[in-house]
Structure 1
Amino acid sequence: MKDRLTRDIASGALHDHLADIAEEAAAVILPYWRAGGEVFAKADDSPVTLADREAEALILSRLTALYPEVQAVAEEQSEADGKPESVAERFWLIDPLDGTKGFVQGKESFTVNIALIEGDRPTVGVVSAPATSLTWRSAPGGGAQMRRYGDVWRSIQVRDRPDQGSALLSHSVTDEEAVRLASRYGCTQWQGTDSSLKFCLIAEGRFDAYPRTGPTMEWDTAAGQAVLEAAGGRVLGPDGQPLTYGKPGFLNGPFVAMGG
């Protein structure tokens, strides 16, 4: 007899559950946005807020109630209690609020991220943007979808690379570095954007590449990678192979996310 997670993957119920949970977490986060709440510093000096912690607690509670047998690796829990030394064949990767720096500054580009990892690949993922009420997901049966909260899902896919390609880059890079990175991947234009939103905008066919040279954590990228790959894109490391998960320390090296 198949376990519940396997049944829910096959039926599409998992995809619905994850989208609903991400949007419920978004409702927890929004009251803190632009409200001037206290910001705490983690061990690595990166910021964390009550919004991060409360959203993560909700996500973990919902997932545990539905799938108690599935291991969860979540950003704030891992930072507070230590990262697990090993992971199961299937596990969750959760970033309850990606783009906290921008969130604290009142920007819109922060996201809720939940992904299922099977083996070393993200197979189901959802990204939700509370400030704009939009959610993207890998779709049941294949492909990718997006919706505005409360609306129906619509299909999305990457675009064919235009002659004048556009790149998305982290705000942390200099203008000189941005031009160099964009041109390396055939893009003549670039725009700075926070969080995993970059993967989703490429999945929608609005941009073409997101090269990243600085370090990221696996929970920063897993859900976005699942969405982008489902939309026909790729997320590749320096060896030209797809970015994998469950690595020691859950640390990513350089990568590029690309559309068509």
Structure 2
Amino acid sequence: MQKVFYTFVLLSVSLMSCESNSDDESSSPDTSNNILTTKVDIAYSNGATETLHYTYSGMTLIKEESSDGYYTDYIYEDNKLTEINYYDSPNPGILESYTYDAQERIATISTNIVGIGVYDYTVTYNANNSVITTSYTNGTPDKHTVNNGNIVSFDEGGVYNSTYTYDSKNGPFKNIANRDILLTINSENSYALNFALNNLLTEDIVETATSTNNSYTYTHTYTTFGFPRVTTEDDEGDITTYTYTYNND
């Protein structure tokens, strides 16, 4: 069994969007199934900026680097994702490994937060694989629900409940290999929402104990091929923008 090491940075932000007008790119034959995100420029509300760079092997995302210096290694065995290891360069921060069940679904997650401890999780599914439950010994399970390639709700151990709506356009990572697997892993080193099929329009987070609600809205301009070009995230007046570059630009 050949082990292939892929380097990939942990996404620290949600790459999300809402429908608006497309940009002025010239029209060309539809190659949308081959389009890949190569760079995201982020402008935060406090004036700080960050750039994320991506490289690929074919349609497989193999590396994402942040201008802030952090990165994540993705490790595969026989093209199957088995580890995601996060580094705050050059030091290891979170080392995470996965096993699969007989149906080739994620079955276990082992998260080693370096210097703190190792946490083991079991992942289970309902009959049609739309509800993914991640359980930790002596803890309340997390549960997220997938519909039409998107996460539509997330119950964070009964503490927070989130719901999401989407546009009908192409998400930034729609075309990557293993997207369906990444959509089922919601853990320290993998943020499943980043791998949705479409782009977020709204995100509502409710704290269960107090019923306190925090709402995000997303507006977006699109490329000719229906991928996000500029996303504006509005956290109740706190604005962050994401500008995307693609391999067909």
TM-score range, shorter chain: 0.3 to 0.5
Higher RCO (C-alpha 8 Å, min separation 6): 2
Q: TM-score, normalised by structure 2?
A: 0.35
Kindly indicate which of the two structures has a greater share of residues assigned to strand: 2
Q: TM-score, normalised by structure 1?
A: 0.34
Kindly indicate which of the two structures has a greater share of residues assigned to helix: 1
